[in-house]
Amino acid sequence: MADEALLQPATVVAVRDLTPTVRSLEILPADGILPFTPGSHIAVQVCINGRPDRRHYSLLGRPEDGCYRIAVRRMPHSRGGSIFMWDLREGDALAVSAPRNAFPLKGGGSAYLLIAGGIGITPIHAMAMALADAEAPFRLLYGVRSRSDAPFGDALATRLGNRLELVVEEEGGLIDMAAAFAPLPDNGEAYVCGPMGMLEAALAGWRAAGRPAERLRFETFGNSGHRAAQPFIVRVPDLGREIRVEANQTMLDALDAAGVEVLSDCRRGECGLCNVDVVACEGELDHRDVFLSEGQKAEGRQLCACVSRVAGGSVTIRTGYRPL
Amino acid sequence: MSETRSYPLNAWYAAAWDTDIGKTLLARTICDTAVVLYRRRDGSVAALEDACWHRQAPLSMGRLDGDNVVCGYHGLVFNGDGRCVRMPSQETLNPSACVRSFPVVERHRHIWLWMGDPALADPSRVPDLHWNDDPAWAGDGRTIHAKCNYRLVVDNLMDLTHETFVHGSSLGNDAIAEAAFESTHNERYAYITRWMKNIDPPPFWASQLGKPGKVDRWQIIRFEPPGTVTIDVGVAPVGTGAPEGDRGAGVNGFVLNTMTPETESTTHYFWNFCRGYRLGEQRLTNEIRDAITRVFGEDELMFAAQQKGIERNPHRGFNNLNIDAGSLWARRLIQQMVEAERPRSRLAAE
């Protein structure tokens, strides 16, 4: 859904480093917080190259904490959001939306499997705590690069005990989706938040297990791909345009800045409104959306401009525009 | 917003009688939220917010397909958990597509919904209306759509002196308005206990007892927040020991009431009268149900008129009397629940 939520003035009341690359921020709106449930996020107004934009962050903790708590990873190829957030200090003013939940936890379920990768732990953390409080049966698989880069790793281990399984990539760990899903009862749900590779493995494993699609819940903010973000060229022959997309810019923003009209709504690779036809491609398409099916992605004839990219080279596209 | 809400959300509310819900879509507003209710094939009840995720069309205008609801506008399909299971013209499901689902418990002949934080929905906190389906009791009731805030119905039930004046021809007589009463309370309930000893029974109770002479009459009202009132009522021939605990010679019934806010100014009021005597007589069940329907019709008129009066002068407030002790304890218990839900900012808490 297009983010039209009203923004409220707020203050950063605490800043704390969780790991060398992950920092938590506590934010207190002037009018107090609104209630929220696990999986909720807020929009934060950021300023990038002097222009306002919005970024979405999952809420940690619970309303009783009396503030909104988020965690932000410093991204090496940030489009500007994480740099803005990392520049915030205690006492700084900012603007945030009311909480919204597009990743709600089912109440009263018989079994839950939570899977997090890296900073994807943020919504899963709130879910794990809520399920632990409710004494619901669940497991959390948490994939991290190294033990020193596992935000909340120690706190989760203390609270969850053997319900937490930390999978450390540096130590050769890899989440085996088939094995993870096997013990889950038929009516159990899995919740996934992590990088694109992890999500795709989960989607493929879930389908292979013959489980219904709606019981695999996931959230992606469309900010990770199979390849590092690089600049590339997009050509629009119908409009006679050739546009450079910077590494820290989305194709949709580059098209928009160049005056090429493309519809969009969610801007996180879910709704498919910004989907354009691929006429030709030099370089590898890096699909970062969850709108196109695996088959459609393999065909390589469509691209969701809000999140997806080309890894080096160029792409020739057709928008909905048909010259008179 | 939350400043003016008169009801808590973290509570079980009766949304319907068990017989109201079948394998068809029922739209009902509960706590100012539009809800659609239906039974799955296994008999369990699903409750979803009655607004499609896509463009807010009421799902109740769609149709049931097995255990799923098909939106009547563009055909998005949702399961009983509110998860979207089908979308038109695309190969994948939008992962954000879901509608809110509400925890449901079916108990004591009612369908109870939890409108607040689902993590707190503890079935053991469903209000106690066990007489409704206890074989030692028989009876039947109805639903009143009361044109007033739900607390006005609570007030009504917590102070039965109104029977003398509103229901003078059936239940009330001067004895109620004259008898002393005791107001007590604990963490969970507020009570009003009234014994009217050695009195002439009112017409209804004289016919139920079927014996001539003076009686000891009791009314023991119990409020359970936010909206449940059970009233232990009955008469026994005077001197047979009812006030001391032996009701064996008398007749005993329970007036069971649970009020659910529909909006701030309207209420779903579910009532039942269960009796502990002549259990097998369906004719008596129907007679009493119809008689109470007429009696409660007198209350309905007062509810609507009182609500109008309040809306005309919203800031005037009430002047309370000694007889309002029960209602004031009830309102205090409600207020504690409402305040417990008010979001607190950390600065305010310090």
Contact list, B83 vs chain A (CB under 8 Å): 106, 214-215, 217
Q: Which residues contact B118 (CB under 8 A, 6 or more apart)?
A: A37, A105, A107, A108, B102, B103
Mean pLDDT of chain B: 92
Mutate which of B44, B55, B81 to disrupt the A interface (most A C-beta within 10 Å)?
B81
Superfamily name with CATH number, domain A232-318? Beta-grasp domain (3.10.20.30)
The alpha-carbon gap from A306 to the nearest alpha carbon of chain B, in Å, equals 15
Structure tokens at B126: 């469903």
Q: What share of chain B is helix, strand, coil (3-state, %, to 5)?
A: 25, 30, 40
Contact between A39 and A112 (Cβ < 8 Å):
no
The alpha-carbon gap from B34 to the nearest alpha carbon of chain A, in Å, equals 18
Q: Answer yes or no: do A106 and B119 touch at CB < 8 A.
A: no
Contact between B269 and B145 (Cβ < 8 Å):
yes
Cis peptide bond prior to A38, omega within 30° of 0: no
Q: Are residues B59 and B150 in the same domain?
A: no
Which residue of chain B has the CA closest to A217?
B95
Is A3's pLDDT higher than 70?
no
The predicted pLDDT at position B17 comes to: 98
Full-model pTM: 0.89
Q: Which residues contact B322 (CB under 8 A, 6 or more apart)?
A: none
Length of chain B: 350
Report the percentage of chain B scoring pLDDT > 90.
83
Helix (H) or strand (E) holding B292: helix B282-312
CB atoms inside a 10 Å sphere around CB B119: 20
- Whether residue B136 lies within 8 A of chain A, CB to CB, comes out as no
Lowest mean pLDDT among A76-85, A149-158, B262-271: A76-85
What are the distances in angstroms from CA A210 to CA A181, A182, A184, B84, B212?
Answer: 11, 11, 12, 18, 74
Length of chain A: 324
Helix (H) or strand (E) holding B160: none
Q: Are residues B16 and B65 in the same domain?
A: yes
ipTM: 0.85
The predicted pLDDT at position B344 comes to: 60
Structure tokens at A236: 């629009």
Contact between B96 and B87 (Cβ < 8 Å):
no
Q: Is B301 strand, coil or helix?
A: helix
Q: Total structural domains in chain B?
A: 2
Picking from B338, B341, B289, the residue whose alpha carbon sits closest to that of residue B151 is B338
What is the CATH number for B167? 3.90.380.10
- Residue B349 binned pLDDT confidence (cut-offs 50, 70, 90): very low
Strand B190-199's sheet: what is its strand order? B138-146, B266-275, B251-263, B228-237, B215-224, B190-199, B181-185
pLDDT tens-digit series, residues B198-251: 999 988 899 999 999 999 999 999 999 999 999 999 999 999 999 999 999 999
Rounded distance, CA B303 to CA A218, Å? 49
User: Which of B64, B97, B124 is where one domain is finished?
Assistant: B124
The predicted pLDDT at position B163 comes to: 76
Rounded distance, CA A54 to CA B166, Å? 60
The predicted pLDDT at position B174 comes to: 74
Is A93's pLDDT higher than 50?
yes
The predicted pLDDT at position B343 comes to: 67
Q: Are residues B93 and B135 in the same domain?
A: no
Domain positions in chain A = 7-97, 112-218, 232-318
Q: Answer yes or no: do B103 and A108 touch at CB < 8 A.
A: yes
Q: Are residues B169 and B309 in the same domain?
A: yes
What is the CATH number for B72? 2.102.10.10
The alpha-carbon gap from A34 to the nearest alpha carbon of chain B, in Å, equals 6
Q: Which of A65, A67, A134 sits opposite B119 (nearest CB)?
A: A134
Is A171's pLDDT higher than 60?
yes
The alpha-carbon gap from A82 to the nearest alpha carbon of chain B, in Å, equals 24
Q: Are residues B50 and B85 in the same domain?
A: yes
Q: Answer yes or no: do B119 and A28 touch at CB < 8 A.
A: no
Q: Which of A214, A266, A291 sits opposite B90 (nearest CB)?
A: A291
By residue range, what is the domain housing residue B204? 128-339
Structure tokens at B11: 């509570």
| Phi and psi at residue A310, to the nearest 5° | -120, 135
Structure tokens at A233: 């060229």
Which residue of chain A has the CA closest to B347?
A66
Which residue of chain A has the CA closest to B349?
A66
Structure tokens at B328: 């004031």
Contact between A76 and A18 (Cβ < 8 Å):
no
Tell me, yes or no, whether B349 lies in a domain.
no
Lowest mean pLDDT among A83-87, A313-317, B40-44, B322-326: B322-326
Is B184's pLDDT higher than 60?
yes
Contact list, B341 vs chain A (CB under 8 Å): 35
The alpha-carbon gap from B89 to the nearest alpha carbon of chain A, in Å, equals 11
The predicted pLDDT at position B321 comes to: 84
The predicted pLDDT at position A50 comes to: 83
Q: Which residues contact B57 (CB under 8 A, 6 or more apart)?
A: B51, B71, B72, B73, B74
pLDDT tens-digit series, residues B83-123: 999 999 999 999 999 999 999 999 999 999 999 988 889 99
Is A76's pLDDT higher than 70?
yes
Q: Are residues B158 and B200 in the same domain?
A: yes
Q: Which CATH number fits domain A112-218: 2.40.10.120, 3.40.50.80, 3.30.1370.60, 3.60.15.10?
A: 3.40.50.80
- Whether residue B1 lies within 8 A of chain A, CB to CB, comes out as no
> Would you tell me which residues 75-134 of chain B have a C-beta closer than 8 angstroms to some C-beta of chain A?
79, 81, 83-85, 90-96, 98, 100-101, 103, 117-119, 121
Q: How many whole angstroms from its chain centre is CA B149? A: 12
User: Which of B124, B148, B169 is where one domain is finished?
Assistant: B124
Kindly state the average pLDDT of the residues B160-186.
78
Lowest mean pLDDT among A262-266, B159-163, B209-213, B334-338: B159-163
Report how many Cβ contacts below 8 Å link chain A to chain B: 87
Mean pLDDT of chain A: 93
Is B168's pLDDT higher than 90?
no
Q: Are residues B119 and B144 in the same domain?
A: no
The predicted pLDDT at position A137 comes to: 94
Kindly state the average pLDDT of the residues A220-248.
91
Q: Answer yes or no: do B343 and A106 touch at CB < 8 A.
A: no
Tell me, yes or no, whether B348 lies in a domain.
no
Buried b (16+ CB within 10 A) or exposed e, A230-256: bebbbbbeebeeebebeebbbbbbbbe
Q: Are residues B188 and B169 in the same domain?
A: yes
Superfamily name with CATH number, domain A7-97? Translation factors (2.40.30.10)
Kindly state the average pLDDT of the residues A14-18.
96
Contact list, B347 vs chain A (CB under 8 Å): 28, 66
